[in-house]
Copies of this chain bind each other. A is one copy, B any other.
């Protein structure tokens, strides 16, 4: 009919069937790795009181609130506005406040799910997108070993999701930068702005950043010092030793000590050294990070950073984020994967090229109705053995049935006809290489697919 406009509203991305299969598989793997590392998934409601989002610096132009298509004053007696979450961090802080007596500290949780931001629509930016977060929140204190666990988890995830793709988790400690800035006569009030400018070094280049720092009032000499500092090269151990030789102020020395402790703990976790790299230039745009910070980059074949993708997983340590809704000191450390944007970028750059639109491993085809009963029995039996099995139920020519398997990317077909029914055999067709063989039992198929 097409009298309706059925397209997705702008900013609300719907993946193709092939792409959605990848998204589901990624969510499954990310959930599994998070939970294997002691971060149970806790998905909170999408909706909170709007006042609590404003309290946490949400941009009111981008915060979506709920209204009714037809207002009914009788239903909503409570006049507070309801808003959709724009990240998982404020809901986590609310969750901790609500369940303070139910939860155990250090409180670990993962969350995977949509958040919404009503940004201006543009390519590769979405108004609904999935964020995958983990955080651990301590009561009063939180061991630095938690900071070391985060890169280990990032590495486990991306080794599973992107096998054969090189990547590196870059780590730094904000206290090192803060301490160093202080030596450069950057006042505490200026820290934030200078951090933001430095954070853009990679994106904007040295010339532009120099101009910005000058405009900010930094001397040529201090700008040079700053660049020398954030571009220190060497092995992680060399960088740490170099930092330890500098006579910095207390904050600086604290940052260096924390960075060493974090780096050494990673050693004990059997992390391959090529996956980790200390990088003094990382500041992270967000103001709430106070200690360790992380960024993760894919590497090109020549070992350089893939700069077009930006950081694929970031995070850090914060001192007071979770405590806004309580009167407790609740330091935390966490990481976040912006799943929707990342997948969109990987599809767009053809780094991921999905081939399957279904979870089905085996499609059971029938030559004619005489095989229906056997087909049903076979499907039930194979599912009990743990395989993902679909029966093709419609009365179509066998070539149509194969075409269906082919279009969905199903790897194996079982063909059941008169011979198979009377001999109690099954014929397996490998849809990738086109070979076919008739076997006596399910063992072969199970071994191919398990």
B-binding residues in A (CB < 8 A): 1-2, 4-10, 12-14, 16-17, 20-21, 23-24, 35-38, 40-55, 58, 60-72, 74-76, 78, 80-84, 94-95, 97-99, 102-104, 106, 108, 114, 116, 118-121, 127-128, 138, 141-143, 145-146, 148-149, 152, 156, 265, 268-270, 324-327, 357-360, 363, 372-373, 376-377, 379-381, 383, 386-391, 393-395, 404, 407-408
* A152 to B, closest residue via Cβ: B380
A118 to B46, CA, bound (A): 14
Across-interface contacts of A269 in B (CB, < 8 A): 376-377, 379-380
Chain B nearest CB, measured from A377 CB (Å): 5
A233 to B30, CA, bound (A): 50
**Does the CB pair A145–B358 fall under 8 Å?**
no
* A33 to B, closest residue via Cβ: B383
Task: State how many copies of this chain the complex holds.
Answer: 2
Across-interface contacts of A37 in B (CB, < 8 A): 383, 388-390
A72 to B117, CA, bound (A): 13
Known: A393-B143, A404-B104. A60 touches B51 (CB 8 A): no
Chain B nearest CB, measured from A160 CB (Å): 12
A269 to B268, CA, bound (A): 52
* A44 to B, closest residue via Cβ: B14
Chain B nearest CB, measured from A4 CB (Å): 5
Across-interface contacts of A75 in B (CB, < 8 A): 61, 118-121
A1 to B82, CA, bound (A): 22
A118 to B408, CA, bound (A): 38
Contact of A270 among B61, B97, B380 (CB under 8 A): B380
Across-interface contacts of A54 in B (CB, < 8 A): 69
Chain B nearest CB, measured from A389 CB (Å): 7
**Does the CB pair B5–A377 fall under 8 Å?**
no
Chain B nearest CB, measured from A121 CB (Å): 8
Known: A38-B360, A70-B60, A380-B270. A49 touches B389 (CB 8 A): no
Contact of A38 among B148, B373, B388 (CB under 8 A): B388
Across-interface contacts of A80 in B (CB, < 8 A): 5, 9
* Secondary structure of the A contact surface, majority rule: loop
**Does the CB pair A47–B9 fall under 8 Å?**
yes
Chain B nearest CB, measured from A333 CB (Å): 11
**Does the CB pair A17–B376 fall under 8 Å?**
no
Chain B nearest CB, measured from A262 CB (Å): 12
Q: Would you mind naming 25 contact pairs between A and B with Cβ atoms under 8 Å apart?
A: A5-B51, A6-B97, A8-B98, A9-B48, A13-B45, A14-B45, A20-B40, A35-B360, A40-B359, A47-B128, A54-B69, A60-B68, A60-B69, A61-B72, A64-B67, A65-B67, A66-B118, A76-B118, A104-B404, A143-B394, A156-B383, A268-B376, A268-B377, A269-B379, A270-B381
Using A69-B83, A145-B376, A269-B377 as known contacts, list a sample of 14 further A-B pairs with CB atoms less than 8 Å apart, ordered by residue number in A: A8-B98, A17-B42, A37-B388, A37-B389, A38-B390, A60-B68, A61-B72, A64-B69, A66-B84, A66-B116, A66-B118, A68-B118, A108-B358, A141-B394
A45 to B46, CA, bound (A): 13
Across-interface contacts of A44 in B (CB, < 8 A): 14
Across-interface contacts of A51 in B (CB, < 8 A): 4-5
